[in-house]
Structure 1
Amino acid sequence: MAQAIRFYETGSPDVLRWEEVEVGAPGPGEVRIRHEAVGLNFADTYFRTGLYPAPLPAGMGVEAAGVVEDVGPDVTDFRPGDRVTYTGSPLGAYSTERVMSAQHLLALPDAITFETAAAMTMRGLTTAYLLRRIHPLRSGDTVLLHAAAGGVGLIFTQWAKLLGVTVIGTVSSEEKAEIARMHGCDHVIIYTREDVATRVREITDGTGVPVVYDSIGKTTYRSSLDALARRGLLVCFGTASGPVPPIDAMELAVKGSLFVTRPALADYIADPAERAELAGELFDHVAAGRIGIGINQRYALADAAGAHHDLESGRSIGSSVFVL
């Protein structure tokens, strides 16, 4: 019998339940997957708390890697035994096995382990669209990245260096600052000690940066705006501290004709061809060792509540995975 994490009401991590589930056979266009590793992402907490609505009861998680066990009618791109990874699918990745649509799957190169895939598919594709789709970055540009020691942050910094981009990163502690530096962050601001916008202006000789990448939201929104150069772009791609406040259009004009966008990964991987292109570039970098994926926390899937507590308390560094 397969097992899975499910929740019947929104709330704290304690609403998560470890249960036996019936998986069944794949239908048309579907596959049955045996998971080897499951990704833990901050977005998972948004579903659990109700910030992202989901019909209840529901499974949890949108990212995992494993082996195809069976395929249903009309599935031509995959067969039993194939190594695969995925992200952005319907909830249910926190499970030992599941049936899902084959359209969400990506073939996993042999050079990338299941744990690495589970740690990087969502974060890596997020980094891919941030760096390759949102703004036309050029070698020599300087950007500000919040949460530089987080799962996305460590991948982002390494990829940005490959593009010749200088990264100013924010972190909460000296420990996280050292990790960010080890992954190529050029300037690290410990926001608990320093004013972020002031330091960015000092580093950029008063100009500010053309782009700020902000996954924190409510508590960093103001400093992000103040760190931007004239006609700069604020990319709000997460809300770890809560939603950003209402946007005052006139304030954007006063601060230098600024731009604000709130992108979602789903809209950058909805087209299969674009998803394949972004994933291909990501997988090539990782397989070749140009981008390293550090896994700093591993949990048993049954301990999902504890993992969520760690994630929301800020104790996690880099990527986390559930191992099966």
Structure 2
Amino acid sequence: MWVKAIRIHELGGPEVLSWEEVEIGDPNEGEIRIKNKAIGANYVDIYYRTGLHRTPLPFIPGTDFSKEAVGVVSAVGPGVTSFKVGDVVGYADDPMGSYAEEQIIPASVAIPIPPAIDYKTAASVLLKGMTAYVLLRQAFKVNRGHTVLVHSAAGGVGSLLCQWAKALGATVIGTVSTEEKAAQATQDGCQHVIVYTKEDFVTRVAEITSGEGVHVVYDAVGKDTFQGSLACLMPRGCMISYGQSSGNRPDPVQLSGLAPKSLILGRPGLMHYTTNRDELLQAAGEVFTNVMSGVLQVRVNHVYLLSEAARAHKDLEDRRTSGSIVLVPDSQRL
């Protein structure tokens, strides 16, 4: 069968995203085919498109590009007993190739979506939410009394980090680029918001914490904030780097530079915390529980047609978005 999908044939800007027809077959042993209803667009997709995260060309559905979608099972391969046609499932992080009307994936990575959560919400929260789970509950376990600094606090992951950390009893400091995003960060649980385009975040963090610093920094910006993030930590503090939206990779840090305050530096990846199905379902379950209980308010602020993926990427790179971005197949329209 033929489906419409986004492909790229070379690395580069949003213009390399090509809207094409591709052929997919029937699922093999242990696989299912999913008719996508909503597709998550994440900043990591830009890393793959530009080559910041290396992966081979060409990018085709099912192999190399994009990482998150929710849809309805349209076919089941031999040996699959855990799902049937009509089930609503999501997938995130692996395999890649979700910018397509339909996608074949291993049944072992499919996640059942609770009936109370709609397609767009699920597609916008699955990857980001599980990432937030890893950052807050695994890489560094945030508890009541901790003070945390979240960069890009109005972004997709940042918004969830702020809400979840606040619910865990932490004092949350967020950095954003505009006053509009500052208002959202406040709604999402930030007790202190720093508009970094107007004031130095290192100085403000020192003022807010009376010079003590924070227990943990969650930094998805990279190069532009890397050294400042380390400076904001208290002794024995932990910096969690999970992205580099400012371009290139963070400047190397000498391990001896961490010694004066006994700092810890980490770069966790979701795949290493969901190495088996039990871990995957545990992470997804934590996210869905928090969504359904109201702890996490999922902000699907931007919806584009799948064929408009290039525009979505440009808006994301130009910092014209906040919250989550969802793509929907053109056949569904908006």
User: Please, what TM-score do these two structures have when normalized by structure 1?
Assistant: 0.98
Range that drifts further, 31-40 or 53-62? 53-62
Structure 1 equivalent of residue 35 of structure 2: 34
Structure 1 equivalent of residue 308 of structure 2: 303
Matched AA of 2:75: D
Which of these residues, 256, 269, 285, is aligned with residue 250 of structure 1? 256
SS in structure 1 opposite 2:80? Answer: coil
Matched AA of 1:188: V
Structure 1 equivalent of residue 325 of structure 2: 320
For structure 2, the residue ranges without an aligned partner over 5 or more in a row are 330-334
How far off is 1:90 after superposition? 2.3
Matched AA of 1:129: V
How far off is 1:137 after superposition? 2.2
Matched AA of 2:7: R
For structure 1, the residue ranges without an aligned partner over 5 or more in a row are none
Q: In structure 2, what is the Cα distance between the partners aligned to 1:277 and 1:18?
A: 35
Range that drifts further, 263-272 or 116-125? 263-272
SS in structure 1 opposite 2:133? Answer: helix
Structure 1 equivalent of residue 171 of structure 2: 166
Q: In structure 2, what is the Cα distance between the partners aligned to 1:230 and 1:271?
A: 35
Q: In structure 1, what is the Cα distance between the partners aligned to 2:276 and 2:215?
A: 28
Alignment length, in residue pairs?
323
How far off is 1:271 after superposition? 2.3
Structure 2 equivalent of residue 283 of structure 1: 288
Structure 2 equivalent of residue 5 of structure 1: 6
Matched AA of 1:39: G
Matched AA of 1:296: N
Q: Taking every aligned residue pair, what percent have the same amino acid on both sides?
A: 48
SS in structure 1 opposite 2:175? Answer: strand
Whether the 8 Å contact between 1:58 and 1:91 is mirrored in structure 2 is: no
Matched AA of 1:253: A
Structure 1 equivalent of residue 95 of structure 2: 90
Structure 1 equivalent of residue 332 of structure 2: none
Matched AA of 1:71: V
Q: In structure 2, what is the Cα distance between the partners aligned to 1:290 and 1:142?
A: 19
Structure 2 equivalent of residue 49 of structure 1: 50
Structure 2 equivalent of residue 157 of structure 1: 162
Structure 2 equivalent of residue 24 of structure 1: 25
Matched AA of 1:32: R
User: Please, what TM-score do these two structures have when normalized by structure 2?
Assistant: 0.95
How far off is 1:88 after superposition? 0.8
Q: In structure 2, what is the Cα distance between the partners aligned to 1:110 and 1:21?
A: 31
Given the alignment of the two structures, is residue 181 of structure 1 paired with residue 182 of structure 2, yes or no?
no
- Displacement over 4 Å in runs of 4+: none
SS in structure 2 opposite 1:58? Answer: coil
The correspondence of residues 189-204 of structure 1 with structure 2, limited to 5 A, is 189-204=194-209
